[in-house]
Structure 1
């Protein structure tokens, strides 16, 4: 455990530069006294750690210090082997790079870890292509040339021209400032700004892309997870939302809640009935509402609006007619 901690301490100083004993203790989850003992041990082993006094002082490595701290313990190797999402890498054109990286990781492992880590990784499956109902989630097909240009612009911090086809519109060129890339269930998205306004583009709708030499207007650092959450929230709040009054079987209530954007005004149905719940559910649009209620079959009944009742009745009648 101490050897792992000493390696982590050196890596923290390499990555962050000068750090105080208190900051190192927080990162390593030990006491400051333990950190000071570890610093002393590193110095005795020849690692050039030095202390800087003062309010902004701390510990640091001599400039230019390099080491070959490439060892991974068993748990670290296992985590890395299962963390790479194959479908995510494919969505960004990095499938071959991921496979190559995994081969290098396995090759770098000590002999005692190699077989056990690889064997354990075979017993863990993350994000499979099909669920228990054999519904296949196919990654979208994005041309390699498009992915390559988008990746270069994102990594280099340059503006990007894309030929993009929005839903129901013809493709047209637009210049954007790329922020980052996100993959969700095999679907890739480019997060960017255009004329200062937030934009999210689905990669499968980009037919051509060109990295420009002009620097992108974007912050130096970005919390991509937080940015995606914020944009997802705004997306769900926009559009032609529909509020539906529903009677639902309590056993299927959570299924409805998981599908809807929100559920409110929940109460027991009219006394003396079948014990169903009456609630208001909000959906993204009419199509979303129709789909969600149809999945619940007779476990839910849309009471209002009338046009949704008509749509569901027409769909049910078409099924009956088909099997008569």
Structure 2
């Protein structure tokens, strides 16, 4: 790991010129103390890196210094393949590897092309954190240790054991044969087989994870697209509460973050949206729609409308009379 970091440090200095220890620390995702130790190690190894003092100071390499440092390691190649699939972002815990790989790709280009590629990269932005309505992209947090263990088990073909906290339930231990990882709308899922049955797990609900030495029992080749489509179809066919709602477009993403699935969606003449969605049960639907206030209206089923009306009546009665006294 340190060797890869030292290579990345040299490439950063070659491509960007002078950089402060703070800037290097941000790029390499380490502390400034680690950067200073790495700079010292490079100097000891004969790499001509020097420090410039003052307000605009930092670390730099002697002009013209080059070394063959462009070989891709396994994770860097994997990161590039993930991005090349047209579905890759900063996912599956590969963001650091992706940054390192891209620096090596740029460094391998002819000197005359490096500047134009760097300029082009600054003019392309993929999936910013907010859209034009200032709505932030919601991405579920996954512990780095969990992601690393699960990803390693998927790629090496080993069983994985984890503690899984399903909705409103205490964590329970599971041992599965992993098939693949899928990321959809900021949520990452593990597709697996457990005791001969297909299973799908959200990584954000894994408390711990450990790759086992035992080989996984799974097919040698896999079509994740097909498997995901099949599991989605089965999921939609399960016995959940189906709800028909009208909602303002500005609150759509909030609704989608709460539902289990979306069955249909179409615009309404008044610029609202009509969606058919599924929830776990009536309690889940009441909780989710209550958060959206008057920006959403439940059209069906009647049981949901009654439940929301009763809750609203209870709240209105609570505030009907002003408080007396100081």
TM class by shorter chain equals 0.5 to 0.7
Query: Offset at 1:111?
Result: 3.1
- Cα displacement string for residues 120-177 of structure 1 (whole angstroms, at most 9, x for unaligned residues): 2222222222223333235433333222221221111011111211122211222100
The 2-side partners of 1:316 and 1:132 are apart by 36
Partner of 2:191: 191
Kindly indicate whether the alpha-carbon contact (under 8 Å) linking 1:85 and 1:126 is maintained by their aligned counterparts in 2. no
Q: How many residues align?
A: 232
Partner of 1:102: 102
Evaluate the alpha carbon distance shift between residue 243 and residue 184 of structure 1 in structure 2; reply closer, same or farther with a 3 A threshold: closer
Kindly indicate whether the alpha-carbon contact (under 8 Å) linking 2:158 and 2:214 is maintained by their aligned counterparts in 1. yes
Moved more, 143-152 or 93-102: 143-152
Partner of 1:87: 90
Kindly indicate whether the alpha-carbon contact (under 8 Å) linking 1:283 and 1:289 is maintained by their aligned counterparts in 2. no
The 2-side partners of 1:283 and 1:93 are apart by 30
The 1-side partners of 2:270 and 2:144 are apart by 55
Asked if 1:283 is matched to 2:286, the reply is no
- Cα displacement string for residues 211-232 of structure 1 (whole angstroms, at most 9, x for unaligned residues): 2222111111112222223222
Q: Which has the larger radius of gyration?
A: 1
Query: Offset at 1:80?
Result: 6.3
Kindly indicate whether the alpha-carbon contact (under 8 Å) linking 1:178 and 1:190 is maintained by their aligned counterparts in 2. yes
- Cα displacement string for residues 51-87 of structure 1 (whole angstroms, at most 9, x for unaligned residues): xxxxxxxxxxxxxxxxxxx9xxxxxx9x969968443
Aligned-residue Cα RMSD (Å) equals 4.5
Query: Offset at 1:100?
Result: 0.3
Gap runs ≥5 in structure 2: 1-71, 73-79
The 2-side partners of 1:147 and 1:275 are apart by 44
- The DSSP-based 3-state class of the residue aligned with 2:180 is strand
Moved more, 154-163 or 141-150: 141-150
The 1-side partners of 2:298 and 2:144 are apart by 47
Query: Offset at 1:306?
Result: 4.0
Kindly indicate whether the alpha-carbon contact (under 8 Å) linking 2:149 and 2:211 is maintained by their aligned counterparts in 1. yes
Partner of 1:302: 299
Gap runs ≥5 in structure 1: 1-69, 71-76, 267-273
Kindly indicate whether the alpha-carbon contact (under 8 Å) linking 2:161 and 2:176 is maintained by their aligned counterparts in 1. yes
Kindly indicate whether the alpha-carbon contact (under 8 Å) linking 1:290 and 1:311 is maintained by their aligned counterparts in 2. no
Asked if 1:142 is matched to 2:142, the reply is yes
The 1-side partners of 2:270 and 2:133 are apart by 30
TM norm structure 2? 0.56
